[in-house]
A and B are shown apart, each in its own frame.
Chain A
Amino acid sequence: MRKLIGAAMIILASVGIGYSKSRELTLREKNLEEFLQAVLYLKGEIRCGNSGLSDAFRNTAARCGENYADFFRGAADCMDTNTEESLHLIVEKCAEQYLPKLSLEEGEKNRIRMLGKRLGYLDREMQLRQLELYEEDFQHFLETLRKDKAEKKKLYRSLGTMGGIMLAVLFW
């Protein structure tokens, strides 16, 4: 009986891991979509409102999904208080502080960290071009993810279940 319970627990845990990995993909897709949306807001703020970066970040924070709101708001606050830091450092610090909880890959997080290095230089056209580059990059991340998503989700779930069964058999 104990063996049976143990095997069931192993299988359940393994299935859980598979499902959580599969859920991470869904969350990553959502996070990428939200960041793309935020980039669109930023572009709008700069193009239509000719807003400075702190205003643009703050207004974006008010509109974008809650996952990025703290990041944009935090960066805007730092810009307003003139903390004697470069924009690059400000954005990087805020990214470190607010983005770890997001289900993004390290490369994607790095791109967001670099936002401060890309913005604030030269004229308005330059800001818009930089944001367009971000849009393209994240669009690409999203497309790649979507292309493999269904397959990967199925794989994680199957691996979880099969792995669990295999472990249970091995330990039997």
Chain B
Amino acid sequence: MRTIRAGQIPNLFAGNIRKLLEEECPDYEKLYEIRLRTGRPVFLHSQEGEHCLRNRNGLPYLATKQDLKETLEYISGYSLYAYEDELRQGYLSVQGGHRIGVTGKVVLDGTRIRGMRYISGINVRLAHQIKGCADNVMPFICEKKQICHTLLIAPPGCGKTTLLRDMIRQISNGTAYMHGMTVGVVDERSELAGCYQGVPQNDLGMRTDVLDACPKAEGMQMLLRSMSPDVVAVDELGKKEDFCAVESVIHCGCKLLATAHGNSLEDILCQPFFRELKEMKVFERYIVLGKKGHAGSIEKIYDGKGKTCGN
């Protein structure tokens, strides 16, 4: 896998799009997504909203089938086969933690997804490390110099992963509210740490151990057995087996930081597993993020009983 920094983002794209990006010079630090769809304009999503790439004559540039094919070749380093497992889930992660979502014709093997052909849409989601974005959250998740079991709730694109990354960094390094702790991270989609050959490319702190590309449930068990973490952090809880692993984390005395897709606490509690965890009073803090603009903009913070304890 390759190291892809912000400045190298244009290199991920087909020649035509690369040239337009180089001419436009967007601020990659502020850019969230670049979306390519066959026969449609190339959209750039940033803090300021969305706009499309334009030709020299001012018309929107329409991505061609060849552009998408070429782009996918560059993204995968001419080795799409190496991303088979990820592609089955509709995305592939590239070094640096950037996630590339793809859509196209799904190839089935019986009822099982075997792969994807005729890729017609590519969404390059740029990972950002925003150090300090968890500053406002830290006072609420620390109690008596200890971390509370915390669940971050937000719809896609609201900065859950960015916030979790900074929380991990601060917990690992230590802050004014607590001393540094050993954090074990199960980075199933290589988004949190953006590991390259096992070494995190993003700063997750000095006491953090990362299990890269490992399924969450197995990863949590492995960390407990081998690395004796004080805190276990995982991104996007959702599968049944994840919840069984969560129970073992809780019962081992470790603290848990996790994220989940949802618009609100009520939304999350509609899901049976989260409802069960709420009844068991597993999570002591629920942090709901919204689309107010910057990553980690907090809408509400609830305690374990569902009472508001933040802004």
A residues contacting B by CB (< 8 A) are 46, 50-56, 79-82, 84, 86-87, 119-120, 122-124, 126-127
B13 to A, closest residue via Cβ:
A82
Which of chain B's residues have a CB closer than 8 A to the CB of A54? Answer: 2, 77-79
The one of A50, A80, A120, A127 that contacts B2, using a Cβ cutoff of 8 Å: A80
Which of chain B's residues have a CB closer than 8 A to the CB of A46? Answer: 81-82
Distance from B179 Cβ to chain A, minimum over Cβ atoms (Å): 39
A-B contacts, CB under 8 A, total = 51
Chain A interface, >50% SS class: helix
User: Is the pair A79, B84 in contact by a Cβ cutoff of 8 Å?
Assistant: no
Distance from A162 Cβ to chain B, minimum over Cβ atoms (Å): 52
Which of chain B's residues have a CB closer than 8 A to the CB of A80? Answer: 2, 77
Chain B interface, >50% SS class: helix
25 A–B contacts, CB within 8 A, in A order: A46-B82, A50-B82, A52-B76, A53-B77, A53-B78, A53-B79, A53-B82, A54-B2, A54-B77, A54-B78, A54-B79, A55-B1, A55-B77, A79-B77, A79-B78, A82-B74, A87-B78, A119-B78, A120-B78, A120-B79, A120-B80, A120-B81, A122-B81, A124-B81, A124-B82
Distance from B112 Cβ to chain A, minimum over Cβ atoms (Å): 14
Which of chain B's residues have a CB closer than 8 A to the CB of A53? Answer: 77-79, 82
B18 CB-CB contact with A under 8 Å:
yes
Which of chain B's residues have a CB closer than 8 A to the CB of A50? Answer: 82
Given known contacts A81-B11, A82-B11, is B81 in contact with A127 (CB within 8 Å)? yes
B18 to A, closest residue via Cβ:
A84
A56 to B, closest residue via Cβ:
B79
Chain B 53-77: CB-based contact to A (< 8 A → 1; otherwise 0): 0000000000000000000011011
Chain B 7-27: CB-based contact to A (< 8 A → 1; otherwise 0): 000011011001000000000
B115 CB-CB contact with A under 8 Å:
yes
Distance from B50 Cβ to chain A, minimum over Cβ atoms (Å): 25
Chain B interface size, under 10 / 10 to 19 / 20 to 34 / 35 or more: 10 to 19
Distance from B134 Cβ to chain A, minimum over Cβ atoms (Å): 33
Distance from A52 Cβ to chain B, minimum over Cβ atoms (Å): 3
Given known contacts A81-B11, A82-B11, is B73 in contact with A87 (CB within 8 Å)? yes
B16 to A, closest residue via Cβ:
A84
Distance from A115 Cβ to chain B, minimum over Cβ atoms (Å): 12
Distance from A20 Cβ to chain B, minimum over Cβ atoms (Å): 39
Distance from B31 Cβ to chain A, minimum over Cβ atoms (Å): 19
Which of chain B's residues have a CB closer than 8 A to the CB of A51? Answer: 79, 82
B75 to A, closest residue via Cβ:
A82
A124 to B114, CA, bound (A): 12
A60 to B14, CA, bound (A): 28
Distance from B258 Cβ to chain A, minimum over Cβ atoms (Å): 28
A120 to B14, CA, bound (A): 17
B83 to A, closest residue via Cβ:
A52
A119 to B79, CA, bound (A): 8
